[in-house]
Amino acid sequence: MAVGIIGYGAHLPRRRIKVEEIAKVWGADAPSYKKGLELREKSVPALDEDTITLSVEATRNALARAGIDAKDIGAVYVGSESHPYAVKPSGVTVAEAIGATPDCHCADFEFACKAGSEGMFVAYGLVKAGLIKYGLGIGADTSQGAPGDALEYSAAAGAAAFIMGADDDRMIATIDDSYSFMTDTPDFWRREHQFYPSHGGRFTGEPAYFRTVTGAIKGMLEKSSMKPGDFKYVIFHQPNGKFPKRAGKQLGFNFEQIDVGRLVPTLGNTYSGASPLGLTAVLDVAEPGDRVLMCSYGSGAGSDAFVLTVKDRVREVRDLAPKTRWMLDENVTYLEYGEYAKLRRKIRLAAH
């Protein structure tokens, strides 16, 4: 039984802030940040947008493409490191809003930037096991970087949702194989009650991101007996513009394979949404028969890799919801740092 994606959707906030605008406030050198991170601007959620609201909108776009009754969704998984509540699930609000309750399993995942692919993996696995008809996996975040920290230039917001199913006639892309790679690597963390995360600086690079991502992709290729040249597109986790390019080069992928799913230069790092959003951008343009490799990364650390084959239906459904690059490039407004600080609740307000 072929199991895969029968619906996909993205949602991005409309606000952006440029690297220059952040650098100006902290006396940092914008050109060197832009070059070093290969990142020009990032998305910023409004005061009324959070992981739950972005997840609902991404899911509605996925449902528009899937053309199914939400009642048939048997599982809703939201992966995020910015769940609005410390205790109270995000998944039930998403499930309630789309009309999947009460005959539905919900859970929230957290694994730094890997939580989205976890939700996808579990939803896929449950459909494959025959336990549910359809499963919804969402990666969404409204991440915070500490003011002035390098992460502030990249921490962004966005969501991608995937409905997994086994209906041949609805199949947009089959998931042909998967592989995960996990170790205990403390490169990035946020303790309970802390507003901003902490990270290990350069330790986040070679021993963390690169070791894990290359480990996962090598394992995936070996397991599926495939080589980089077999893929039309590869999507990496993308904390900045440079890491996915460098990882791709190390593994033998060329820039054309990487670039379509590399949204970070104008989106920023959407954490749990990052590689899933890259996959939505690829599905927006992929042709039937294209092979796609996706590899997430979450600090702490681990990667989930998937091999997908795009099906004919992608042509019928991709115009049924807004495309990811359209949301990324059009219909955006730019903020000054003061507005950004207000929207991201970085300003201390009077107590009510």
DSSP state of 181: E
Judged by CB under 8 A, which of 2, 25, 28, 97 binds another protein? 97
Judged by CB under 8 A, which of 99, 229, 288, 338 binds another protein? 99
Let me know if 219 is exposed, middle or buried by CB neighbors in 10 A (0-12, 13-18, 19+): middle
Element (H, E) at 109: strand 105-109
Catalytic, 295? Answer no
Length of the chain: 352
CB 283 to another protein: min, Å: 18
Asked if residue 64 binds another protein (CB under 8 A), the reply is no
Q: Which of 238, 313, 240, 235 is nearest to 280 (CA)?
A: 235
Asked if residue 47 binds another protein (CB under 8 A), the reply is yes
Choosing from 81, 83, 105, 295, which is the catalytic residue? 81
Catalytic, 20? Answer no
Asked if residue 87 binds another protein (CB under 8 A), the reply is no
Residue with tokens 């899937």: 66
Residue 39 sits at φ, ψ, to 5 deg, of -145, 130
The side-by-side arrangement of strands in the sheet containing 41-44 is 41-44, 15-18, 333-334
Q: How far apart are CA 204 and CA 239, in angstroms?
A: 10
CB 106 to another protein: min, Å: 14
Catalytic, 113? Answer yes
Asked if residue 14 binds another protein (CB under 8 A), the reply is yes
- Contact (Cβ atoms closer than 8 angstroms) between residue 50 and residue 81: no
Judged by CB under 8 A, which of 52, 66, 216, 328 binds another protein? 52
CB nearer to another protein: give 100 or 294: 100
CB 63 to another protein: min, Å: 12
Q: Which of 274, 250, 251, 272 is nearest to 261 (CA)?
A: 274
Q: How far apart are CA 233 and CA 198, in angstroms?
A: 32
Judged by CB under 8 A, which of 84, 130, 186, 229 binds another protein? 84
CB 77 to another protein: min, Å: 18
Pairing of strands 333-334, 15-18: parallel
CB 94 to another protein: min, Å: 9
Residues in region 266-325 near another protein by CB under 8 A: 322
CB nearer to another protein: give 159 or 235: 159
CB 331 to another protein: min, Å: 5
Asked if residue 110 binds another protein (CB under 8 A), the reply is no
Choosing from 57, 104, 106, 113, which is the catalytic residue? 113
Judged by CB under 8 A, which of 4, 16, 33, 50 binds another protein? 50
Give DSSP secondary structure letters for 278-333: HHHHHHTT--TT-EEEEE--BTEEEEEEEEEEE-THHHHHGGGS--HHHHHHSS-E
Asked if residue 334 binds another protein (CB under 8 A), the reply is no
Among 47-55, 164-172, 181-189, 308-316, the segment contacting another protein (CB under 8 A):
47-55
CB 54 to another protein: min, Å: 9
Among 33-41, 169-177, 209-217, 327-335, the segment contacting another protein (CB under 8 A):
327-335
CB nearer to another protein: give 90 or 154: 90
Let me know if 255 is exposed, middle or buried by CB neighbors in 10 A (0-12, 13-18, 19+): exposed
Choosing from 21, 152, 237, 295, which is the catalytic residue? 237
Q: Which two tokens mark 321?
A: 């919801």
Asked if residue 85 binds another protein (CB under 8 A), the reply is yes
Q: Which residues of 296-318 are buried (b: 16+ CB within 10 A; e: fewer)?
A: bbbbbbbbbbbbbbbbebbeebb
Active-site annotation, residues: 81, 113, 237
Chain residues binding another protein by CB under 8 A are 14, 46-50, 52-53, 56-57, 60, 84-85, 93, 96-97, 99, 322, 326, 330-331, 333, 342, 349, 352
